[in-house]
Structure 1
Amino acid sequence: MELDPKSLNPSDRYKLLIGSVVPRPIAFVSSLSSAGVVNLAPFSYFNAVGHKPLALMFSVSKKPDGSDKDTILNVRPVSAGGLGEYVINLAVSSYVQQVAEAAEPLPHSESEFDYLELTQAPSKLVAPPRVAESPVAFECKTIQIVPVGEFTMVIGEVVHMFIRDDLVDDRYHVDTDKLGAVGRLAGYDYCHIRDRFTIPNGFSAEKKAALKQSQ
């Protein structure tokens, strides 16, 4: 099957994208409005940008009426009317139901924390709180906001990181099993990280030897 994305309607492109790009990590973003209302929302267009500096990105769609969602309004730089700060909490199995429920649209004046069985915890270097139940939380300051058609990509630098003590060893290796992160698939499906295997990067020793002989 050969497909031209421009020939497909947006809903079909969406189904092909989220069914193929799997699993996707979920950014559970807590942000703060100018009026002091805490917003909490999940985004599965999310990934790392790099570690020099330590940076993360997530992408947000528009509301059905074409306006920006609360998260975008909150994380914009101060010069654009936002706070320019937010926290990326992880989506984990112990509260994945609340992650899904947080996608429910609420008025800008209401906080998802008022409806979910989750707890706010103060952040160290940014104003928005983190989710106390999250095993890892990245406090971020907005570096850049990039419009991409009907989406808005937010790139932020991690200025502080919280990680639960039992998850990391003295070499800063994270215990994936204890972390319990969940990923997003298509539709309403999610997945756990339970089946793993290891493959070293690059050629095998046999292929490297053969390559040297050919040179």
Structure 2
Amino acid sequence: AVSSAPPLMMFSAGKKPTGEIKDTVKNVINSKQCVIHIASEQDADLVTATAATLDHGESEVNANDIELVEFEGCDLPRIKNCHIAYGCELYEVQQMGEAPQSLVFVKVKTLYVNDEVISLDAKQRLKIHADKVAPLARLGGGEYSGITAPFAMARPK
């Protein structure tokens, strides 16, 4: 998250080897919307497979037999087997760096969280259980990490 008011998220994408903007960024610019998923450790092979360079117009979803479902409150579908998905609209795109990266800022409009990974806390607020989500983090190149032992700390008053 970049901001809570408005609720903004950001992702970055480099250029294709040809220097062109990647299709993901083009698609967000053209449609003015996207869905951001939180991948789980169990999906590491699929995440890596979808990073393959495809010809323009070829779909990672089709190439990897990823099942999509309707996403309530969003014009785009979400990945069926993903625990968390954010339905977003384009906020701003910036180019940064000497080898320009596209920084894509999006405003969160709707959220899907699988019931299996949430519960109510003592104050009746939704709590997402990181150990059940098992979020996958890409460190760079082919290196990934997961959360081995989530922990909580009391916040100062």
Tell me the TM-score normalised to structure 1 length. 0.65
One-letter amino acid of the structure 2 residue matched with residue 115 of structure 1:
A
Contact 1:85/1:141, CA 8 A, preserved across alignment: yes
1:160 matched to 2:110: yes
SS of the residue 1:109 aligns to: coil
The 5 A counterparts of 1:186-197 are: 186-197=140-151
Choose between structure 1 and 2: higher helix proportion: 1
The alpha-carbon distance between structure 1 residues 85 and 136, as it changes in their structure 2 partners (threshold 3 A), is same
Structure 2 regions of 5+ residues with no counterpart?
A: none
SS of the residue 2:127 aligns to: coil
Contact 1:86/1:126, CA 8 A, preserved across alignment: no
One-letter amino acid of the structure 2 residue matched with residue 190 of structure 1:
Y
Query: 2:79 is matched with which residue?
Result: 131
Structure 1 segments (4+ residues) deviating >3 Å: 196-203
Q: 1:197 offset after TM fit, Å?
A: 4.0
Query: 1:85 is matched with which residue?
Result: 33
Q: Deviations over 1:128-170 (max 9, x none)?
A: 3211111000000001111113111111111110100121222
Identity of aligned residues (%): 28
The 5 A counterparts of 1:168-179 are: 168-170=118-120, 171-179=125-133
The alpha-carbon distance between structure 1 residues 108 and 186, as it changes in their structure 2 partners (threshold 3 A), is closer
The whole-number CA distance in structure 1 between the counterparts of 2:75 and 2:152 is: 40
The whole-number CA distance in structure 1 between the counterparts of 2:149 and 2:140 is: 19
Q: 1:53 offset after TM fit, Å?
A: 1.9
One-letter amino acid of the structure 1 residue matched with residue 5 of structure 2:
K
Q: 1:202 offset after TM fit, Å?
A: 5.4
Q: Which of the pair has the greater relative contact order for Cα pairs under 8 Å at 6+ separation?
A: 2
Q: 1:49 offset after TM fit, Å?
A: 0.8
Q: Deviations over 1:169-204 (max 9, x none)?
A: 22111011111111122431211201344444559x
The whole-number CA distance in structure 1 between the counterparts of 2:14 and 2:84 is: 25
The 5 A counterparts of 1:42-191 are: 48-76=1-29, 82-149=30-97, 150-170=100-120, 171-191=125-145
Aligned length: 151
The whole-number CA distance in structure 1 between the counterparts of 2:140 and 2:128 is: 27
Tell me the TM-score normalised to structure 2 length. 0.88
Q: Deviations over 1:63-108 (max 9, x none)?
A: 11111110111111xxxxx010000011112222111110101112
